[in-house]
Amino acid sequence: MIDLLDIISPQSSAYLPWILALLILPIFSFATTGFMKGKAPYWSSAIIASNLLVAAYLATVFWNEPLTIRGNWFKLGENQFTYSFYLDKLALTMSLIVNFVALLVHIFSTEYMRTDANKPRYFAYLGLFTFSMMGIVLFNDLLFIFIFWELVGVSSYLLIGFWFQKKSASLAANKAFILNRIGDLGFITGLMILFTQFHSLDLDAVKSLMIMSEIEDGNWVVNFMQGGKEVISSMDGRWLSAGGIALFCGAVGKSAQFPLQVWLPDAMEGPTPVSALIHAATMVAAGVYMLARIFVLLDAQALEVVAIVGAVTAFMAAIAALSQFDIKKVLAYSTISQLGYMVLAMGVGAYSAGLFHLITHAFFKAGLFLSAGIIIHQLHHLEKGGKKFDPQDMRVMGGLRRKLPVTFFAFVICSLALAGLPGFSGFLSKDAILLDLAVWADIKGGGFYIPEVLAFMTVVLTAFYTFRMIYLVFFGEFRLPKILGDASLPNKLKEGNLWVTVPAVIFALLSFTFPFGFTLNADHSWVMEALKTPMYLVPESYAATSLLDVPEETFHGLHKTVNIVSILLALAGLFIAWLSYKPGAKLEKTFIERREPVGVLGQISFYHWYQNSLYQNIFLKAILAKSRALAWFDQYVLDEAVNLLAKLNVVIAHVTRWFDQVFVDGLVNLTAASVGKVGQLTRSIQSGNIQAQILVTFIFLLTLILLLVV
């Protein structure tokens, strides 16, 4: 029998310093950048650049043979807690992406934040973020993943709330953190379940023991040795599914899945480069990354939940993106929607496809955000000295392609990738997902076609809102001068400098297919090769049908159909967008004047299915009301009740006093009344009457005698 302690025995490697460097460099940046004042951007960029180099070096060394490093952290009772790093292709890829995007964002921010007084703080936060993100990526231990998971949450909180003097920013930061926390409850519950069953949270240990676990009489049983002692863990089999779903909850929070996705649009209050880094490329993808890490531990039921949540999220967010005015909001909803795709992919078992989409999305969405950032940044310059306006509002834009040509280029390339048109990276990865989804739906049948339908509808919607955005921003005429009544404005608008354009263009270039293989078939991409879908490890009776078990032919059969359908749908979306929002189209005109979309669908879309209102007005209010009620209860009922005991004391004291002395007078009065001498009544209401006292004494004596003797 396997001994748990053998599985998690320490493994050392000469490369440990390198791996640690990946963590230490960013945290070093966090610790020192704050003191750098004006040089902060360069300093932190240099650090991140060197970190990228380290990551690249490690990638070259360990690409083909994964490295495990493990050491003891602490011992709790008999349970050894370890830290472990696992550098496989996934981790290496992620660390490259994170560092790469981070570096570009650093560079971009150098210009974007140039005038901000607090920029050292900003770059320090970026360092903290990179550190936390690297932690998630590198560690192979669920506990550590969770720890960095939360730290990522904090850095996101700090960055969203970076402009904390804006109340909306600070509230958005709160919202992001709290909703993430709700997801984390699930995560921590998952940790509890796994720990209870396997006595360790090291992924190697969990996986090894998961293979050995069995379902017996509906109980999930696993038998192993721990330090020479035999352990039999057993719990209701349903906890297995629950564990998967619970862990997935963490991803729901972090990756902004339904029903916790409402924080992401609000998070756009943060500086735009942050949105690019955190809320598009990396952090929100961490949920998907985590799902990939625990992929093999999910059982059929959990996977179904994952798939459904993913599909619903993708669709809902796509709808919401249709009618937004704020360019960043559109991008935010689009991010949610794309994350939905990834999660859906994980749910249907399309591990490689999901991760592929994660990678491609990281680039094209970062590109989109950075381009949007350039627009916002440049428009923001116009604000100086002039009237205030919202530089993120698409209603003030229009026709910018002439003023900002490079940005336009980057934006469109990335948009095409987002819309999933052939030749762009998005096409490859989305196609792979749709294909696997189709196969999955075929296997499952019945209601499981719904996710498929939703996913395909989302394709249309994606294309639509993407091009709607392009039309509104870059085509037509520049609307701002009209709104502000200042005709000189167009001349003032300039293209961003190299600090900002270069990163955007780099991302745009990475949104083409070629970095991932010169092919239109995802299967031929090196990414799909590298990140092979693993087998499920859960007990057989609980395991889902793995796509690996599906014969190749099924895929081939569907491949073409899916390809064509998705391209057609995307084109359809493009076409509708062109119809509605081409310069001079009816919708385009009304769009500018509206304060908010009209019609039921418009409203639902604009308000994102009213989910936010539901939370704010019903759940949150209910909780706050309840907490106030409880506080009231605590202060006025519970406290009073306990004080009442004290008061009761006083009352008893009164009663006893009454008994001891007034009672006497009572008797006296009674006597007086009984002989009709009412006049004595008042006089005898006095204490200290000795005869009455004697009398009462004798009453007591007599009573006692009667009680005890007779």
Partner 1 sequence: MVGAAMQMADGLKEQLQSLTEGVAFLWPEITLVVGLLLVLLFDLIFQNKKEVGIAAISISVLSFLLVAQCLSFVPNLEAKDLFVGLITVSSGANLFKIGFTLTALFALIMAAQSKKYAQQYFSSSEWLVSLFGLLLGAFLMTASSNLLMIYVSIEVVSISSYLLTGLGKGLKKSEAALKYLLYGAAASAVMLYGMSWLYGLTGSLDINTDTFIVGMNAAQPFTLNIAIFMVLAGVLFKLGAFPLHIWSPDVYESAPMPTVTVFSIVPKLAAVFVLFRLISSTETTDFNWQQWLGILAIGGMTIGNFSALWQRNAKRMLAYSSIAHAAFMLSGVLLFNRAGIEVTVFYAFIYLIMNLAAFYLIQVFENATGSVNFDSFRGLGKTMPYTAILLLVVMISLTGLPPVAGFNAKLFLFSAVYEGYVSTGDQIILWVFIFGLLNTVVSLFYYIRIPYLLFFKTGDQIITKQEGFRWHMAWGTFLVLPLFLLFFRSDWFVDLLNSINFVF
Partner 2 sequence: MLLLGALMFCVGLFVVFTRKNAIMVLIGIELMLNSANLNLVTFSRFDPQALQGQIFSLFVITIAAAEAAVALAIVVKVYKYFKTSDLDKINSMKG
Partner 3 sequence: MEHLLSYIVFIPLVGAALVLLTPKAYEHLYRVLAISSTGLTLLLILFAVTSFNGALVPEISGEGNLQMMEKASWFSLKLGSLGALSVDYFLGVDGLNISMVLLAGIVLFIGAIACWNIKEKKKAYFSLYLLLCTSVLGCFVALDFFLFYLFFEFMLLPMYFLIGIWGGPRREYAAIKFFLYTLAGSILILIVMIGLYNSVYDPIKTAEMAGLSMAEYAISDIQSMVLEGQIDKTEVVKSFNMLHMADSANYIPGSLLDKSGLGTLFGQPIRWIAFLAILIGFAIKLPAFPFHTWLPDAHVEAPTPLSVVLAGILLKVGGYGLIRTAYAMFPDAAFHYAWLIGFIGMFSIIYGAMNALAQKDLKKLIAFSSVSHMGFVLLGLAAMTSEGVSGAIYQMFSHGLISSMLFLIAGVIYDRTHDRMIENYGGLAHQLPKYTVFVGIAFFASLGLPGFSGFIAELFVFLGAFKSASVIGAIPAWMAVVSTLGLVLAAGYYLWTFQKMFLGKFWVKEKKWVPALKDLTIHEYLMLVPLVILIIAFGVYPSLLLDLINSGVESFIDHLTASI
Query: For binding to partner 1 (CB under 8 A), which residues are involved?
Result: 646, 649-650, 652-657, 659-660, 688, 690-691, 693-694, 696-697, 700-701, 704-705, 707-709
Number of residues that bind partner 3 (CB under 8 A): 57
Residues 127-146 that bind partner 3 (CB under 8 A): 143, 146
Q: How far apart are CA 140 and CA 124, in angstroms?
A: 26
Other CB atoms within a 10 A radius of the CB of residue 477 amount to 12
Q: Which of 568, 623, 670, 702 binds partner 3 (CB under 8 A)?
A: 623
**DSSP 8-state assignment for residue 596:** S
Out of 564, 579, 631, 670, the residue judged to bind partner 3 by CB under 8 A = 631
Residue with Cβ nearer partner 1 (619 or 700): 700
| Binding of residue 184 to partner 3 (CB under 8 A) | yes
Q: Which residues have C-beta within 8 Å of that of residue 92, sequence separation ≥ 6?
A: 55, 58, 59, 62, 63
Sheet of 219-226: strand order equals: 214-216, 219-226, 229-236
Position 624 contacts partner 3 (CB under 8 A): yes
Cβ distance 353 to 426 under 8 Å? no
- For residue 170, how many C-alpha atoms fall within 13 Å in the half-sphere facing its CB? 4
556 lines the binding site for partner 3 (CB under 8 A): no
Establish if 165 lies at the interface with partner 3 (CB under 8 A): yes
Nearer to partner 3, 283 or 460 (CB): 283
Residue 422: cis peptide before it, omega within 30 degrees of 0: no
Please give the Cα distance from 592 to 482 (Å, whole number).
11
CA quadruple 272, 276, 278, 280: dihedral sign: positive
As measured in angstroms, the least distance from the Cβ of 667 to partner 1 is 13
CB 1 to partner 3: min, Å: 19
Q: Shortest gap between Cβ of 682 and partner 1 (angstroms)?
A: 21
Q: Which string of x and - marks every residue 622-661 that binds partner 2 (by CB under 8 A)?
A: ---------------------------------------x
Query: Could you tell which of partner 3, partner 1, partner 2, none binds residue 700, using a CB distance below 5 to 8 A set by kind?
Result: partner 1
**What is the chain's length?**
710
Q: Using CB atoms within 10 A of its CB, is residue 582 exposed (0-12), middle (13-18) or buried (19+)? A: middle
443's contact among partner 3, partner 2, partner 1, none, with CB below 5 to 8 A by partner kind, is none
Report residue 37 as tokens. 């004042």
Per rule CB under 8 A, is residue 612 in the interface with partner 3? no
Q: How far is the CB of 500 from partner 3 (least distance, A)?
A: 28
The dihedrals phi and psi of 229, each to the nearest 5 degrees, come to -100, 140
Using CB under 8 A as the binding rule, whether residue 245 contacts partner 3 is answered as: no
What's the burial of 593, exposed, middle or buried (CB within 10 Å: 0-12/13-18/19+)?
exposed
Cβ-based neighbours of 661, under 8 Å, separated by 6 or more? 687
Q: Is residue 18 exposed (0-12), middle (13-18) or buried (19+ Cβ within 10 Å)? A: middle
**Per CB under 8 A, which of residues 672..701 are in contact with partner 2?**
683-684, 686-691, 694-695, 698
Residue of the chain from 189, 213, 261, 272 that contacts partner 3 (CB under 8 A): 189
As measured in angstroms, the least distance from the Cβ of 637 to partner 1 is 23
Q: Is the dihedral of CA 558, 559, 560, 561 positive or negative?
A: positive
Binder of partner 3 out of 11, 32, 50, 170 (CB under 8 A): 170
Looking up tokens 């360092």 gives 127
Shortest Cβ 653–partner 2 spacing (Å): 13
Interaction between residue 607 and partner 3 (CB under 8 A)? no
199: left (phi over 0), alpha (psi -120 to 50) or beta: left
- CA 259/CA 411 separation, integer angstroms: 30
Instruction: Answer yes or no whether residue 14 interacts with partner 3 by CB under 8 A.
Output: no
Q: How far is the CB of 702 from partner 2 (least distance, A)?
A: 11
Q: Which residues are near partner 3 by CB under 8 A?
A: 73-79, 81, 143, 146-148, 150-151, 154, 157, 161, 164-167, 169-171, 173-174, 177-178, 181-182, 184-185, 188-189, 191-193, 195-197, 233-235, 239, 623-624, 626-628, 630-631, 634, 638-639, 642-643, 646
Q: Which residues are near partner 2 by CB under 8 A?
A: 661, 683-684, 686-691, 694-695, 698
